[in-house]
Amino acid sequence: MTISANHTAQDQDRTAAVEDALTEAVTKFGITAEDYMLPARHQIEMVDPDGRLKSRAEQGAEPGHEYPVPGDDELLAAYEHLVVGRRVNDQNSALVRQGRMAVYPSSHGQEACQVAAALCLSKSDWMFPTYRDAVAVMTRGVDPVQVMTIFRGDWHSGYDPLQHNVGIQCTPLTTQLLHGVGVAHAAKLRGEDTVVLAMCGDGATSEGDFHEALNFAAVFHLPVIFFVQNNKYAISVPLAHQSVAPSLAHKAVGYGMAGERVDGNDVVALLAVLDRAVKLAREGSGPLLVEANTYRMQAHTNADDDTRYRESSEVAEWRAKDPVNRMRAYLTDRGLLDDDGEVRIREHAEAVASQLREGLSEDVPVEPQELFRHVFARQTPQLKEQSALLADELARDAAAQNSADQEAGK
Ligand SMILES: Cc1ncc(C[n+]2csc(CCOP(=O)(O)OP(=O)(O)O)c2C)c(N)n1
Ligand SMILES: [Mg+2]
């Protein structure tokens, strides 16, 4: 058999496998392939901003896009993580103002997305986060001080990705999607049932790497959830200048994968949609794109002045949809949360905040040459040259300091 004939046979096998899996997914929900892939007409929202569970009719549920309310234990755990996440976001912003952290891209307002992204995964699954997803990484179980080390700016990352199945928080937009797709491909070749959740923002969906990651995942039928947090801005660029697609979830169908959009401030809906997405991906239904409709309540980072590109009335509108208050109202109304429970959760959040204050107050000795190690397995000539330049500069600094000390008679 020639190479090309061999390829053709493999291509046919692959197409047949994809079609089988799609048919199975479609049979499960009793809808057409197009209706399976297209997001529901309305975003999935289960609990309204006042904390009231919406009826099925109010949810706008459609065949194939109906979701059960997650179990009480999962909801209570989610609320605790929401409260801790909010406290951590605000603590970190304070640490930046005190000069204890160099930068912090806060997810204040996006905590429901952060928490659901972590809770929907099993231990052996993988998460690939961005710079804004520190709360998701922490919710996955990584030590908070280790997570925040990267924002102090003295090391590439504070945790071991292999220990927690969490990639390093990436700043170059959408590189993490490709890392995630690669891990999912490897897991599939090894016959493991690992699911990968790869995260990005609304602005990042305009990147070339976004296209490559989604297309590869769809063609190779990989178990990846692309979780897009649409917080309406890419620094100062509003969504309308970024995309005119009906929604970011609609981008999925162009690749041949299913897309869903969900209220990103409703942790109940997020858990319901992501739990099912993970289950489907694990069963072999291929990749999915979930768009969470949320809002970045604070500036992009401390280096940004958001009053220059958005109205305070817009921010106030979203404050009324706060994910933490919404969940508290819902759980209290259902009798799952009382004052004692709330106090215990608040105390836990305070303990985490104080752990961060202590952990990030330590001055860590840094070795400047470490900047050049671990970037590539084999150092490039450019890095070698830069490393030598730095060594020379440091040696001259030390010599100058020495002679100054001698002159001062130290
Ligand atoms: C490849 C690349 N291009 C540009 C940047 C500069 N940059 C950093 S954050 C950002 C905005 C990203 O917006 P979005 O994807 O919506 O994520 P958000 O910050 O809102 O969470 C840009 C353009 C970058 N980090 N990487
Ligand atoms: Mg954004």
* Tally of domains within the chain: 2
Closest among 163, 159, 106, 55 to 303, alpha carbons compared: 106
Same-domain pairing of 321 and 381: no
163 plus 124 within the same structural domain: yes
For residue 126, what are the β-bridge partners?
196
131-145, 152-166, 218-232: the lowest-pLDDT one: 152-166
One domain for residues 104 and 184? yes
Considering the domain architecture, whether residues 134 and 17 belong to the same structural domain is answered as yes
Q: Are residues 237 and 377 in the same domain?
A: no
pLDDT at 72 over 70: yes
Q: How far apart are CA 33 and CA 23, in angstroms?
A: 7
| CATH number for 193 | 3.40.50.970
**Residue 316 counted as domain residue:** yes
Mean pLDDT of 267-292: 96
Q: Which domain holds residue 400?
A: 368-407
Mutational pocket test of ligand 1: of 235, 293, 302, the residue with most ligand atoms within 8 Å of the beta carbon: 235
198 contacts 180 by C-beta, under 8 angstroms: yes
Is residue 3 pLDDT above 50, yes or no? no
Give the nearest ligand 1 atom to 205 CA.
15
Ligand nearest to the CA of 304: 1
- The answer to whether residue 258 is domain-embedded is yes
In a domain? residue 6:
no
Q: Is the residue at 59 inside a domain?
A: yes
Centroid of ligand 2 to alpha carbon of 233 (angstroms): 4
- Which pTM value belongs to this model? 0.92
- 227 and 107 housed in the same domain: yes
> What is the torsional sign of CA 369, 383, 178, 263?
positive
Report pLDDT digits (tens) over 12-67: 666 676 677 677 767 778 888 888 889 998 999 999 999 999 998 888 778 889 99
The minimum-distance atom of ligand 1 relative to the CA of 132 is 21
| 396 and 347, same domain (yes or no) | no
pLDDT band at 1 (very low <50, low <70, confident <90, very high): very low
What span, in angstroms and rounded, lies between the C-alpha atoms of 63 and 108? 34
CB 360 within 8 A of CB 95: yes
Question: Has residue 1 been placed in a domain?
Answer: no
Residues 349 and 399 in one domain: no
Same domain, 403 and 353: no
How does pLDDT run across 318-371, given as a tens digit for each residue? Answer: 999 999 999 999 999 999 999 999 999 999 999 999 999 999 988 888 888 888
Residues 73 and 217 both lie in one domain: yes
Q: Taking CB atoms and a 6 Å cutoff, what residues make up the pocket around ligand 1? A: 132, 171-173, 200-204, 231, 233-235, 296, 300
Closest Cα to atom 17 of ligand 1:
201
The closest-lying atom of ligand 1 relative to the alpha carbon of residue 234 is 13
Task: Give CA–CA dist 381/55, Å, rounded.
Answer: 63
Say how many Å lie between the first and final Cα of the chain, rounded: 82
